[in-house]
Structure 1
Amino acid sequence: MTRMARRGAAVTVLAACATLALAGCGTTSEQTGGSAEAGKPEKCGADGKYTIGMSQANRGEPYRVRMDDDVQKAGSKVPQFKVELADAQKDSARQAEQVQTFITQKVNLIIVSPNEAAPLTDIVKKAYNARIPVIVLDRKTTTEDYNQWIGADNIKIGEAAGKYFAEKLLPQGGEILEIRGLSSSTPAGERGDGFRKGAGDKIKIVAQADAEWERDIAVTKATELLRSHPNIKHVYAHNDPMAEGVYKAAEQLGRKDIVVTGIDGLPIDAGGIKAVEAGRLAATFVYPTAGKEAIETAKKILVDCQSVAKQQLLQTELVSKENAQQVYTRLNAG
């Protein structure tokens, strides 16, 4: 089955479950979120052993590889935990199947970073209503049927990027290009909306393209945009790999005048902070992976038998040439 066929099948099945409550899709109580026991683990306590299943949207992005690594590293420090990782490979149907497998296996807690919001909503709700605590990272689902969402405020990050363009890069105003993330994922919409708010009327986005968060796709998309708009020199990319893709496209076109900003700010050699330090990017904005925080929340739920807040908001910061080395050192020290 192709990726598109698989995705279409999953959406059809999930829709049927929601409207017809077909056998095998879960009971009505599992699907509607009405149980007061939803999200409460069947067992908890310091003397237990717990399996955590994590489904990652994809491992094609360095950010998500780092997120998995952070989850594994933090999980290895909790003696009661065993962490199992699954890669959805940008396929929402595959990811829904992975979560269903975790439900069938009766893992003690699920961590999921959704590929897309809507296709993952019902299966996350099903796990939550089956008394399997669920922690959602970075991207959201369309309901709050989970124990906790952990991430930074993508609207505020986008707004900060917009202000950076309006105040630092183009204080007199100007035209730019935008390379967006996967259009059906929540961060893409929020980072775009926030940017427009922060930039105000001074900055005009004349063209945009969806590069699905990936560097190689961004090279192709940016090449097309830069050729179509040869007079535009500034580009806003929704993450650092795509920003690096823009830089590569500009380099291949002989466009040394292109100025690019991104988001993620990973403290790794191939990450955005080093790209800023090297001069390939004008700036980036740190977007924490939430891997360590996810395990801390899992420990509160399973080991400490505590309830947790519905949302945990992480802080971000601007990384420019002036502070890149300092931020890199500080984040790796943590």
Structure 2
Amino acid sequence: MSRRPLTVAAIAGCLLLVSSACGTTSENSGQGSQPGQTGSSCQGPRGSYVIGMSQANVAEPYRQRMDDDIAQAAAAIPQFTVEFADAQQDNAKQVSDVENFLIQQVDLLIISPNEATPLTSVVKKVYDRGVPVVVLDRKVDGDSYTTFIGADNTEIGRQAGRHMAEQVLPDGGRIAEIRGLAGSTPARERSTGFAEGIEGSDIEIVAAADGDWLREKGQAQADAILKAHPDLQAVYAHNDPMAEGAYLAAKAAGRDQQLKFIGIDGLPIPSGGIKAVEAGRLSATFIYPTGGQEAIDAAKALLIDCQQVPKTQILPTQLVTQENATEIYDRANSG
């Protein structure tokens, strides 16, 4: 009788060791057999994996760069194949794209949602099926995903507000805000943070409009605002293409030298925000990392290494002005 408990205990210990090696214990996966975690999805380095990447809208240069960064990072991992889908800023199409990835039985989903609420249900569906989900840049409602990777948009907005109040218009002034797509979390957070950043200053937001992250729409909105507010002194845009659109509207009106423009994204490409700051079209921008490399790192950890990943991964930002634009651009392209 004394030997039986010892034998059961030994067997249990062996099973625990085997589970640990496969990455299915709560220590390795974070939630054990919970949906969307490591476990059945992870076959180790001998497996081959298809990743579905659902992009909100590649017409935005930032999102095309995100896809490019994902493709480049995945190319270094022979076990990975990435299938890309472009929702073209259409919530219904993005839901359909994700449903198609489920039908294809992808091993992991990366998604940058067009808007949060309309994409929440289908993301939860994928996660509940046991497929790991990396939510990139823009959030969904709730927490039915494996990991979120992105910058702190509220803090970026806050820094933009402080820069406007302390450096661009230290004596106060009247400004306009060109916002991103209304249902996307970065638009809400960049607006909230900016309001916090200018709080206590003499800066007044006299006009605001949605540019939906697009240069052409940002230019059209800025054109209307400039006509309605001839005493405007600056424009805060939620991304660099809309800030450049606002600059073009001001230039067409002969007012580009009278106004200052702040954007966000800071893409290190010839047509990106860093070069726009270097050339003097924008007063400042803020680096907004695409997270492409980090998304593939997370996929490798989950699918190949059978490891846990953090629920939230916050990426850093940096203020770009004419003083440091050249250095930041060169550094970003030195690798």
Task: Describe the SS at the equivalent of 1:268.
Answer: coil
- Check the 8 A contact 1:264/1:272 in 2, yes or no: yes
Question: Shift of residue 139 of structure 1?
Answer: 0.5
Tell me the amino acid that sits aligned with residue 139 of structure 2.
Answer: K
For residue 236 of structure 1, what is the amino acid of its counterpart?
A: Y
- 3-state SS of 1:213 partner: coil
Q: Distance in 2 between matches of 1:115 and 1:129?
A: 21
1:58 and 1:90 in contact (8 A); partners too: yes
Alpha-carbon distance between aligned partners in 2 of 1:43 and 1:174, rounded to the nearest angstrom = 55
- Find the counterpart in structure 1 of residue 12 from structure 2: none
SS at the partner of 1:98?
helix
Once the two structures are superposed, residues 250-291 of structure 1 have per-residue CA deviations (whole angstroms, 9 ceiling, x without a partner) of 011111312101000000000000000000000000000000
Moved more, 42-51 or 110-119: 42-51
The TM-score with structure 1 as length reference comes to 0.89
Q: Write the mapping of 1:109-258 to structure 2, written as runs, cut at 5 A.
A: 109-202=108-201, 203-255=203-255, 256-258=257-259
Letter in 1 for 2:53: M
The number of residue pairs the alignment matches comes to 301
How far apart are 1:321 and its partner, in Å? 0.2
Q: Is the 8 A contact 1:181 1:239 kept in 2?
A: yes
Residue 271 of structure 2 aligns to which amino acid in structure 1? Answer: A
Contact 1:155-1:193 within 8 A present in 2 as well:
yes
SS in 2 for 1:182: coil
Q: Find out whether 1:310 has 2:311 as its counterpart.
A: yes
TM-score (norm 2): 0.88
* CA contact 1:109–1:134 (8 Å) conserved in 2: yes
C-alpha contact (below 8 Å) 2:150/2:290 kept by paired residues: yes
Match of 1:285 in 2: 286
2:8 match: none
Note the residue ranges of structure 1 that are not aligned, 5 or more in a row. 1-33
Distance in 2 (alpha carbons) for counterparts of 1:280 and 1:35: 51
Match of 2:37 in 1: 40
Aligned counterpart, 1:94: 93
1:138–1:150 CA contact under 8 A, matched in 2: yes
**Native 8 Å contact 2:59 2:88 kept in 1:** yes
- What is the SS of the residue equivalent to 1:139? coil
Structure 1 residue 165 displacement after superposition: 0.7
Is the 1:53–1:110 contact (alpha carbons within 8 Å) kept by the matching residues of 2? yes
Q: Deviations over 1:211-262 (max 9, x none)?
A: 0000000111000000100011200000000000001000111113121010
Give the corresponding residue for 1:297.
298
Partner deviation per Cα, 1:125-169 (whole Å, 9 max, x = no partner): 000010110000110001111111000000000000000011001
User: Is contact 2:219–2:248 with CA below 8 Å preserved after alignment?
Assistant: yes
Question: Shift in Å at residue 201 of structure 1?
Answer: 2.9
1-side partners of 2:37 and 2:158: how far apart? Answer: 36
Partners of 1:109 and 1:133 within 8 A in 2:
yes
SS at match of 1:178: strand
Match in the other structure for 2:321: 320
SS in 1 for 2:246: helix
Question: 1:105 Cα shift?
Answer: 1.1
Question: Which residue of structure 2 lines up, in the alignment, with residue 62 of structure 1?
Answer: 61
Counterpart of 2:261 in structure 1 is 260
Quote how far apart the aligned CAs of 1:333 are.
Answer: 2.4
Contact map agreement 1:35 1:129 (CA 8 A) in 2? no
Q: Distance in 2 between matches of 1:224 and 1:36?
A: 54
1:314 Cα offset (Å): 0.2
Between 253-262 and 109-118, the greater mean CA deviation after superposition: 253-262
> Distance between the aligned counterparts of 2:65 and 2:280, measured in 1?
23
After superposition, give the CA deviation of every residue in 1:36-89 in whole Å (9 maximum; x if it has no partner).
Answer: 430135231110000000010001110000000000000000010000000000
Residue equivalent to 2:273: 272
Question: 1:171 Cα shift?
Answer: 1.0
The CA distance in 2 between the partners of 1:298 and 1:304, in whole Å, is 9
SS at match of 1:84: strand
The Cα of 1:307 is off from its aligned counterpart by 1.3
Further displaced range: 167-176 or 146-155: 167-176
3-state secondary structure, aligned to 2:333: helix
Report the residue type matching 2:298 in the other structure: T
1:35 is displaced (CA, Å) by 9.9
Q: Is the 8 A contact 2:268 2:332 kept in 1?
A: yes
**Larger Cα-atom Rg:** 2
SS at match of 1:325: helix
